[in-house]
Amino acid sequence: SWEEYEEQEGDLVIEIDPGMSFGTGNHGTTKACLQFLDEVATGEEKTFMDMGCGSGILSMGASKLGYKSIEAFDYDPDAVRIAGENLVLAKCPGVKVFQQDLSEYVAGTKFDVVVANILAVVLKANASRIVAALKEGSESRLVLSGILHEQYGEIKEEFTKVGLKEVQCKEIDEWSSGLFAWK
């Protein structure tokens, strides 16, 4: 929110003040997630879940790209509060943000696109919970991020075991992020 930016044609600008939360858009994991969200946005109304929302930047990106029925959660109450404030600032109404620990999350709804930008150890321990939130079908996509290059193979293997296949991998800085679909 404090930086000057001259908008270019075709840009979707997100104004954000991350406060004490993770997510300004400059980190390799966030960049990869936003790129994947842009690539899988088809103009159709897709539902979206942001697991480990931090500042809310991925939910804001999803909203600006036309995703609908957006939900986001984080285990940190400060992150939930900051994400809510940022969603208002970015004029992204209707996003449901709530506090939740992924290790206790039970998906009540299935989503077309799920993003989990969380540390690899947490992704691995909660693979079945994460996948349970993804709608079944060829158009559904899961984005996994927060993974150091040397950890990516193990995470890819874990999610392959629960029924997914890797569609694409992005490497930005020392981080690997993967786009997955049902086998």
Consecutive 10-residue averages of pLDDT for the chain (183 residues): 67 61 66 95 90 94 93 95 91 94 96 97 97 96 97 98 97 97 97
Determine the pLDDT at residue 8. 77
Q: What pLDDT was estimated at residue 21?
A: 47
Strand partners, 98: 73
- Indicate the pTM of the whole model: 0.88
Per DSSP, the residues of 93-159 read TT-EEEE--GGG---SS-BSEEEEES-HHHHHHTHHHHHHTBPPSTT-EEEEEEEEHHHHHHHHHHH
Q: What is the pLDDT of residue 157?
A: 98
pLDDT at 1: 52
Phi-psi region of 62 (alpha: psi -120 to 50; beta: other; left: phi over 0): alpha
For the record, the structure tokens of 117 come out as 């930008």
